[in-house]
Amino acid sequence: MNLILKNLLKKSDALLISSRPNIIYLTTYPNFSETERECFLLLTRSLPAGKAGKQYLITDKRYSLALEEIAKDFEIIDTGALNFITKDAKNFFKKEKIKTIGFEDYDLTVSEYSKLEKIVKTNPIDLRNFRAIKQKKEIENIRKACKIGDDAFDYIIQQLKLGITEREVVDKLETFINSKGADVSFKPIIAFGKNSSIPHHMTERDRLRTNQIVLLDFGVKINNYCSDMSRTVFFGSASAEFKRIYKTVLEAQTKAIEYINGQLSMVNGQLFAKDIDKIARQYIIKQGYPNIIHSVGHGVGIEVHEPPHLSPTSKDIIKPGMVFSVEPGIYIPGFGGVRIEDLVFISNNKVELISHSNREIIEL
Amino acid sequence: MNLILKNLLKKSDALLISSRPNIIYLTTYPNFSETERECFLLLTRSLPAGKAGKQYLITDKRYSLALEEIAKDFEIIDTGALNFITKDAKNFFKKEKIKTIGFEDYDLTVSEYSKLEKIVKTNPIDLRNFRAIKQKKEIENIRKACKIGDDAFDYIIQQLKLGITEREVVDKLETFINSKGADVSFKPIIAFGKNSSIPHHMTERDRLRTNQIVLLDFGVKINNYCSDMSRTVFFGSASAEFKRIYKTVLEAQTKAIEYINGQLSMVNGQLFAKDIDKIARQYIIKQGYPNIIHSVGHGVGIEVHEPPHLSPTSKDIIKPGMVFSVEPGIYIPGFGGVRIEDLVFISNNKVELISHSNREIIEL
C-alpha cells in the first residue's frame, strides 16, 4: 500500500476515500459518474500488525460485475455507496472493529458526513496533494495526451476558414481527438475576436471573420491522464497591438520557465509555486497590461486541474515528478485576449516542456 | 422570485445555492465546471418587507465578464467562490445583516461548511426536488433533445457493421449529435454481446461480431436540457432466448406505463414512484428472470438523473409536469442484457411517451 495511506492509517482504523480522482488513481477504473456519488473506497488498517489491511470498493450492481475483473485488489460491496453510509456501515464498522475513520472533508458532503459521524469517530484527511508527484507510467500517459494535443493543434488550425463557427471548431477538435482513441479532457474553449477576452468563454455560434483573434484552449485524456494547452492565433494579418500583446505573454511564459530552471539548478534551492506565478504576473503588469485574471498554472494528471496551484496565494512547493501548466494571459475587454499554455514536467534538476506546438505568432 | 425560494427565505436571511444544476436553473448559465467549485448564488430576503431581496452570483474573473451579459438579474461578485466563504463572507454577512443562511447540505462539502458555520447560523435546505415539476419551456427543450435522440438512433443502427468497435459507435453517435447543434448528456454506453449484461458497461475496443446483442444507452443535451434513452438491438438473427428476454422487458415497460395511466385516470388517485418500479420489477421476476439490478426510472431535466426516483425505497410522488425514464432491464451474466428506456411526461391526466424510437425487436 501507498506510504501516505499507510501513515494515515496510523491515526485511523480505516480510510473512506470518496473523491473520484483518487478512486481512479487507486483502482484505475474511470467509469463512475463525475456528478453523482457512485463509489467509496474503504481501506482498513492491518490488525494485528503484520496481517494485511483490507480494501473494499463500495458501489452498486450497475458496476460490480465489470469491477470484479478490473479492480482485483478490492473486495466489492455492491449494495450502493449511499446505502452503505446510510444503513450498512454501522454493522460493518462494528464487525470490522473500525472505531475511527479518516475521510476527505473537501469532498464528502455535509449530509453524507452527518450520517457518518453518528456511527464512527471521524478524522479529516487531506489527499489533495496525493497525486501531485507523478510516477513514470503517469508521465508517459501525460506525454501521450500532449502528443495528441499537439497533433490536434496542427490539424485544427488548418480547419480555420472564413465563416466557421466556434462550435464547429469544437466539434472538429473532438472528432479528431476521438479518432486517435482519446477523449477531450474538458469541453474545448474556442473564442473568436473579442470573445477571447473572457478566459472561460462559452463556445457559441459566432462565425470567424477576417482579422480576428482565435484563442484555443483544449486538452486530451488518454489512459485516465489529461493534457491541457492553449494557443492564440490570428486569422488574417495581425495588428501591431496584437503582436505586442502576444510577445508580452510569450515572454512572461518564457521568463517563468527560465525562473524554474534557475531555481532547480541551485543546490538545496526551494521552488515555490507562488513565485513562478509572480514572475509571469509582474512581467505583464510591468509592460502596462492588466493583472492576469486567473492563476498562472495548475497541476495536470487524472484531473485537468489539480495541485500544485501556481497562484499568488499558493503554499505549494514544486518538487521533482510534478507536471503543471504555465499559462499567462492578457485580456482586454472589447478587444480580445491572448493566452499561451504549455505543460512542463519537473525532473531532478531541470524543467522539460512536454507540449511542443509552435509558440511563435501564427497568422492564417 | 420562485415561491419555494421565497418560503425558504422566511426561515433564513439568505440562501446559499451551491449545486450546479440549481445554478443553471436560476441563471441559465451552464458553463461552470462539473467537478470544481466555481460559483455560488446568494439570495437575500427582502428587508424591510416590500423591498426586493438581492441576488448575488459569486464567481471569479474567468467568468464574470461573460456573466454580466447573461445573468442580468444578479449582482456579480468576482473575487472567487471559495475565497468568498473563506475570507469575504464574514464582512459581507455583517454588512448585509445576514445572520442565518440556508445551504444545500447534500452539495456543500464538510470543509466548505466548516468555514461557513463559524461566521453564520446555518439551516440545511432541500432543493433536490426543486426542479422536478417542469415548466412548458423546459418540456419543449426535453422534447427537442428526445427528437434528436430518436434521429440519432435511426442513424446509428445503420452504422452497425461487422467489426466496428464499441468506441467507434460512441464516436459516430457524438459526431451526429454534435452536428445537430447539441451535446451528449453523458458518455454513451455501447455494449456488444455479453458486455450488455453490465448496465453501466465501460465502452471499449471490442469489435462487433455476427449474432451479438447491441445495447445502446445515450442521451442528448440541448438548451441545458437532457434526454436519456436505451435500445437493445440484435446484430444477426435473434435467438429464441433473446426474443423471450426482449419481450419480457418490453412487456414490463408497457405494464409500468399502463399502470401510470390507470392511476392518473382515477379521481384523487395518488401515484407513488415506488409502485411504478414495483410493477416492472415484479413482472420480470415472475417470468423467472433475475431482479432488476438498478432502479426502474429517474427524472430527467437539467441533470440526466434527478428526482423523481423510481426505486423500491423511493418516497417520491408522481405529479403533473414531471418527466422521467421508464427503463426495465434483464441482465444475465455471461449471456447479455436487454434494457428498453423511454422518457415519459406526466400531464394532468395522462402519460405521454416523448421518445418515439421503434420499441419492437430489431434484427440487423
The answer to whether B28 contacts chain A (CB < 8 Å) is no
Q: Tell me the per-residue pLDDT of B284-317, one tens digit each, with 9 for 90 and over.
A: 999 999 999 999 999 999 999 999 999 999 999 9
Contact A61/B108, CB-based, under 8 Å? no
Mean pLDDT, rounded, for B110-133: 97
Q: Tell me the per-residue pLDDT of B168-222, one tens digit each, with 9 for 90 and over.
A: 999 999 999 999 999 999 999 999 999 999 999 998 889 999 999 999 999 999 9
Give, in order, the Cα–Cα distances in Å from B268 to each of B151, B259, B265.
38, 15, 9
Contacts of A197 in chain B (CB under 8 A): 65
Average pLDDT, chain A: 95
Cα A117 from chain centroid (whole Å): 31
Q: Tell me the per-residue pLDDT of A179-238, one tens digit each, with 9 for 90 and over.
A: 999 999 999 999 999 999 999 999 888 999 999 999 999 999 999 999 999 999 999 999
Q: Which residue of A has its CA nearest to B170?
A: A178
The answer to whether B107 contacts chain A (CB < 8 Å) is yes
From the list A35, A175, A198, the residue facing B34 with the nearest CB is A35
Extract the C-alpha cell encoding B304: 440526466
Q: Which residue of A has its CA nearest to B176?
A: A171
Specify the pLDDT at position A348. 83
Helix axes B136-159, B166-179, angle to 10 degrees: 130
Check if the beta carbon of residue A145 is closer than 8 Å to that of residue A185.
yes
Check if the beta carbon of residue B206 is closer than 8 Å to that of residue B193.
yes
CA distance B293 to A32: 16
Check if the beta carbon of residue A259 is closer than 8 Å to that of residue A279.
yes
- Asked whether this complex has an ipTM greater than 0.90, the answer is yes
The answer to whether A291 contacts chain B (CB < 8 Å) is no
Burial tier of B180 (Cβ tally within 10 Å: 0-12, 13-18, 19+): middle
Helix locations, B34-97, DSSP H: 64-70, 81-83, 89-95
Reported confidence tier of residue A267, pLDDT bands at 50, 70, 90: confident
Q: Tell me the per-residue pLDDT of B67-97, one tens digit each, with 9 for 90 and over.
A: 987 778 899 999 999 999 999 999 999 999 9
Burial tier of B165 (Cβ tally within 10 Å: 0-12, 13-18, 19+): middle
Q: Is the pTM of this model over 0.90?
A: yes
pLDDT at A50 over 60: no
pLDDT at A47 over 70: no
Testing the interface with A: which of B36, B109, B170 to mutate, by most A Cβ within 10 A?
A: B109
Contact B62/A181, CB-based, under 8 Å? no
Higher-pLDDT residue of B34 and B68 is B34
Domains of chain A (ranges; CATH) run 3-125 (3.40.350.10), 136-353 (3.90.230.10)
Q: Which residue of A has its CA nearest to B79?
A: A293
pLDDT at B52 over 80: no
Count of CA atoms in the C-beta half-sphere (13 A) of A2:
15
Higher-pLDDT residue of B303 and A268 is B303
Pairing type for strands B212-218 and B229-235 reads antiparallel
Testing the interface with B: which of A127, A176, A200 to mutate, by most B Cβ within 10 A?
A: A200
pLDDT at B115 over 80: yes
CA distance A8 to A123: 10
Return residues 201-220 of A near B (CB < 8 Å).
201-202, 205
One-letter amino acid for residue B220 of the chain:
V
The answer to whether A61 contacts chain B (CB < 8 Å) is yes
Q: Tell me the per-residue pLDDT of A80-98, one tens digit each, with 9 for 90 and over.
A: 999 999 999 999 999 999 9
The answer to whether B126 contacts chain A (CB < 8 Å) is no
By percentage, how much of chain A surpasses pLDDT 70? 98
Residues in chain B: 364
